[in-house]
Copies of this chain bind each other. A is one copy, B any other.
Amino acid sequence: MMATGMINGVDVERLSSTIDAIKGDPGIAAFRFRATNRWDNGGHTETTIHDFYGAKQNVTHDRDFHIDADEPDLLLGKDLGANPVELALTALASCLTTSLVYHAAARGITVRAVESDLEGELDLRGFLGLTDTVRNGYKSISVNFRIDADADEATIDELVKLAQNRSPVFDIISHPVEVLVTGEAMAAKH
């Protein structure tokens, strides 16, 4: 049975009615998320998040989100933003935490604080094409949560498992996603 009211800042009544609506019409659950990226110089790019499609409509965010990415000096950049693999950890951390908090709310479990530390091992020889024996991306990622909640140790373990089992970004990183990349020449800009 689902809890009611606001729990952990999540409106569980609205969550419940969203679930009912999707059960009645699965098309409501079909989302398309979008990003546009523009290269600046060297390792510096800016990504803009403007809108998405979901619940059968196009939805514009309250404001555009601009996210700088760059490489640190050691990787020949100007350090004007987190680098892309740090942004991958950011996506994973925020997704696991949100999944944990929303699913705790749905079960009526009050969460007071969630913190996590992430670390990913990456061998640069992959990116540089220096060997076929290492991959380009993370070899492995560790995530360590500290949770303050109205729950015993066993329930906290269960919430951490639930977060993994439901988190979209955990799935995206731990299982293969088909990525189709195309490119074309752009007319010169003046």
Are A140 and B89 also in contact (CB < 8 A) when A22-B124, A98-B71 are? no
The answer to whether B178 touches A147 (Cβ under 8 A) is no
Whole-angstrom distance between the Cβ of A188 and the nearest chain B Cβ: 5
From 155 to 190 in chain A, residues with beta carbon under 8 angstroms from any chain B beta carbon are 156-157, 159-160, 163-189
Q: A5: CB under 8 A from chain B?
A: no
The answer to whether A141 touches B178 (Cβ under 8 A) is yes
This protein's copies in its complex = 2
A67 to B83, CA, bound (A): 12
The answer to whether A93 touches B47 (Cβ under 8 A) is yes
Are A136 and B42 also in contact (CB < 8 A) when A37-B116, A148-B186, A176-B176 are? no
Whole-angstrom distance between the Cβ of A1 and the nearest chain B Cβ: 15
The A contact surface, by secondary structure, is mixed
Residue of B nearest to A121 (CB): B32
Q: A45: CB under 8 A from chain B?
A: yes
Residues of A within 8 A of B (CB): 8-11, 14-15, 18-19, 22-23, 26, 28-39, 41-45, 47, 49, 52, 54-55, 59, 61-63, 65, 67, 69, 71-76, 79, 81-99, 101-102, 111-131, 135-149, 153, 156-157, 159-160, 163-189
